[in-house]
Amino acid sequence: MAHQSVLLQESIDGLDIVAGDIFLDGTFNDGGHSIGVCRALKQSIRIIGIDLDSDALAKARERFIAEPCRIALHQENFRNLDRVLKDEGIDKVDAILLDLGFSSVQLEESGRGFSFKTDEPLLMTLAKNSEGLTANEIVNTWEQAPLETIIKHYGEERQARRIAERIIEARKEKPIETTSELAEIISKAVGGRYGKIHPATKTFQALRITVNDEIEALREGLEKGFEHLAPNGRFAVISFHSLEDRIVKRFFRAKAQEGRGQVITKKPIPASAEELERNKRARSAKLRIIKKLEL
């Protein structure tokens, strides 16, 4: 399954990258956004790509072999972009992009349990072969209160208590090992009611966010990214749920109130009707951009 980069042209246009710039793509994946920049500016642009997913980077390296630009790829979380830039001998960059969505390949072909549409082990780790926290550990060992809390706050799920209760009940009989088992438990917890989205969607989101510490990673990435952004440089973020979008919105607003930034997008840019026709995953995407001001 080929991944389709969301808000591709809107991001490239909004970042206003020109010849001689250094572009940091903090969520590189297969390089969909970067390849557009690369082909437009060729050798005049320097691209630094970061991604925690080693499989995605391996595919990206192959994809960029024949592309006409200078590029360096790093397996790392964008929350550590300061380390990556130090390794590259760079202090300031001219443009930064964070696309906070997961690719179709990651969701449905990773084998790490991101999607309830497949029957996979409950891992949800971005880093392959990670020895850290997994979704399996959360659903099988956490007490009801913290389980309910993450489902409510990270999943924004109204049925959080009911879902947490059913998970606790189910694991008393046997451990919950796969995504399909968990999805069935959640569906039964909410009475099998289907709206526009599958009843397991928000709980899976909450588990993935918790496993990968995505909220704190975003906060760190925003702070470090802005500090390493050159004056007049631009920072673009594509979010896919309201929790992320609120964090980005408030961060950009705070920088504007400090007199350090100018918010370019007074309202977030959504995907066009044409893009939604091609890619339904873009329906919740929101693009926000800030420009760093000279002090």
pLDDT given for residue 193 in this prediction? 61
User: Helix/strand/coil (H, E, C) string of the chain?
Assistant: CCCCCCCHHHHHHHHCCCCCCEEEECCCCCCHHHHHHHHHHHHHCEEEEEECCHHHHHHHHHHHCCCCCEEEEEECCHHHHHHHHHHHCCCCEEEEEEECCCCHHHHHHCCCCCCCCCCCECCCCCCCCCCCCCHHHHHHHCCHHHHHHHHHHCCCCCCHHHHHHHHHHHHHHCCCCEHHHHHHHHHHHCCCCCCCCCCCHHHHHHHHHHHCCHHHHHHHHHHHHHHCEEEEEEEEEEECCHHHHHHHHHHHHHHHHCCCEEECCCCCEECCHHHHHHCHHHHHCEEEEEEECCC
Residue 163 has pLDDT above 80, yes or no: yes
Summarised one tens digit per residue, pLDDT across range 7-21 is: 999 999 999 999 999
Token pair in block for residue 179? 């995504």
pLDDT given for residue 128 in this prediction? 75
Q: pLDDT class for 237, splitting at 50, 70, 90? A: very high
Q: pLDDT class for 109, splitting at 50, 70, 90? A: low
Domains in the chain with CATH codes: 8-105+214-292 (3.40.50.150), 127-211 (1.10.150.170)
Cα–Cα distance for residue pair 96/27, rounded to 1 Å = 10
pLDDT given for residue 149 in this prediction? 98
Mean pLDDT of all residues in the chain?
Answer: 93
Please state the pTM of the whole predicted model: 0.93
Residue 150 has pLDDT above 70, yes or no: yes
pLDDT given for residue 3 in this prediction? 57
- Name which residue leads in pLDDT, 107 or 28: 28
How many CA atoms does the CB half-sphere of 286 hold within 13 Å? 17
